[in-house]
Structure 1
Amino acid sequence: MQIGLIGAGNMASALARGIGEPALVADVDAVRAEALAGELGGEAVGSNAELAERSDVVVLCHKPKQLAEVAEQVAGRAKAVVSILAATDTASLEAAYPAVPVYRFIPNIPAEVRQGVLCYVPGRLAQDGPEDEILELFGRAGAIIPLASEPLIEPAMALMSCGPAFMALVAESFAEAGAAHGLAPDEALRMTVETMAGTAAYLREHEYDTAAVKVRVATPGGTTERGLITLEQQGLRDVCRSAVDAVVEATR
């Protein structure tokens, strides 16, 4: 399946690296398009129209405000359209690309190392197109999570799209706390990040049972329990809720 990327920014690049297929690339910045295409073993093309004609699936990675402009250039040439555009629902995509199967994904940056999360909302004609092939291809970049309804995109983005930055802040905070007690800053950060990665892997193997992990690690009356109580008393849950609320409110 030939992929064509319209746009070669950070998220497009991360996703393309995770998928790992040679791709056609078009971007307003020709140097950026050449760089990404070269990295992927693909080809930079001179126009969106040419890209659409030569692609089995066109992946929209441009700015959301360019939807109508790009659709006009691609009109009648796209066979299937995948969008990773923010704030652009499937109804808007289908209006721009009538009679074309549309697939909406919201990926995150860890897709670059094939550890991403990709929320997925299919368009009305998705099953008429190469949906299975697209899901297999994009699944290389991480876990695909279909959403029951499109309005759930906003809270989902707060967790998985913004989440890497939130997790990075948590890692910094714990590493700084460890360094304050004498650990070398780089050692403290490595310990924290590897512990986060290991905990994520453990949770996957144990059906995402966070409560069971706490019970297993925290001996009653022990040091871990004392730390957990402190986190609860200091309002960790409320802080996390406020961060998610702030993101959701900003996107609506």
Structure 2
Amino acid sequence: MNIGIIGLGSIGQMLVKAFCKSGAVAPEELVVFNRTREKADNLRAAYDLKIADTAQAVCNQVDIVFVCTKPLEILPLLRTLSIPAKTHVVSVAAGVSIADLESVHTGSVSKVIPTVTSSELRGVSLFACSERLSSEQREQLKWLLSRIGVAQEIAEEEIETATILTSSAPGLIAGILESYAQAAVRKTPALSIEIAREMLVETMLGTATLLQNEKLGFDQLIERVATKGGITEEGLRVLGKTLPKGFDELFDMTASKHDMLKQMIHKQNSTL
């Protein structure tokens, strides 16, 4: 199975490294292209992959190609290419719909929303497939993604909300934990920010492991930790005053951003 990756930004590079690290793909089965050659050369120094001179050259020699360019670059790029009908085109860009992809490629198309944590072979990769996909192509994509974490197929209309729980979550969680650590240091300046951060990272890892290994629901873990009238119960009461509203605002903002991006892509597609 030959796999192509067009665009070696953070997501494209992550996919190369994760596929090779997991053993899902042998480096010689990878064909990459990037407008500036340096990134491709750096990857080849670490992995004996193939570098194509053009995006078209990638499409000519692979079974599945991951297009990892910016959202507004996807459709203009694909329109310049002559992609074999047998080639499965996968976009990792937000805002670009399956219908958009089908308008520029006669073969199979899919959307994948990766996560940076796949570099550690953990996390959830979301994917949605067009009806053109064969069962073999769907299983092939699912298998690839499952080697670098959890592959979750999802309806396209659900993918934007789910993205906040997967792809965006590492950054959001890091932001929440940083605020948590900073608040601790404001309360007790003798506690260093470095130690506060280390404590929270280890606690987060332990919490995730406990939830997963014992198959606990969040409510079950809360019940285990929050004794009646105790500090944790009171802490949850304080958070309950502000967190729900904050998360509602987060999802509303995200929906607005996605709508704006989709309108831009629709306008762009109608003028091409």
Q: TM-score, with normalisation over the residues of structure 1? A: 0.91
- Which residue does the alignment assign to 1:178? 184
> Which deviates more from structure 2 when the two are superposed, residues 55-64 or residues 75-84?
75-84
- Which residue does the alignment assign to 1:202? 210
Aligned residues: 249
Q: Unpaired segments of 5 or more residues in structure 2?
A: 260-272
**Which of the residues 55, 68, 85 maps onto 2:62?**
55
Which amino acid in the other structure matches residue 155 of structure 1? Answer: T
Residue 125 of structure 2 is aligned to residue 118 of structure 1: yes
Query: Do the aligned partners of 1:15 and 1:109 also contact (CA within 8 Å) in 2?
Result: no
Distance 2:98 2:137 in 1: 17
- Which residue does the alignment assign to 2:198? 190
Distance 2:108 2:118 in 1: 23
- Which residue does the alignment assign to 1:33? 40
- Which residue does the alignment assign to 2:264? none
Query: Do the aligned partners of 2:5 and 2:32 also contact (CA within 8 Å) in 1?
Result: yes
Change (3 A) 1:208 1:45: farther
| Runs of 4+, deviation exceeding 4 Å | none
Distance 2:59 2:47 in 1: 18
Indicate the percent of aligned positions where both proteins have the same amino acid. 27
- Which residue does the alignment assign to 2:148? 141
The Cα shift of 1:81 comes to 1.5
Residue 251 of structure 2 is aligned to residue 244 of structure 1: yes
Change (3 A) 1:243 1:76: closer
> Which deviates more from structure 2 when the two are superposed, residues 18-27 or residues 87-96?
18-27
The Cα shift of 1:129 comes to 4.7
The Cα shift of 1:72 comes to 3.7
Change (3 A) 1:195 1:70: same
Which amino acid in the other structure matches residue 225 of structure 1? Answer: E
Query: Do the aligned partners of 2:60 and 2:83 also contact (CA within 8 Å) in 1?
Result: no
| C-alpha RMSD of matched pairs (Å) | 1.8
- Which residue does the alignment assign to 2:137? 130
Residue 182 of structure 2 is aligned to residue 167 of structure 1: no
Residue 55 of structure 2 is aligned to residue 65 of structure 1: no
Q: TM-score, with normalisation over the residues of structure 2? A: 0.85
Matches within 5 A, 1:70-85: 70-77=77-84, 79-85=87-93
Residue 194 of structure 2 is aligned to residue 223 of structure 1: no
Query: Do the aligned partners of 1:3 and 1:56 also contact (CA within 8 Å) in 2?
Result: yes
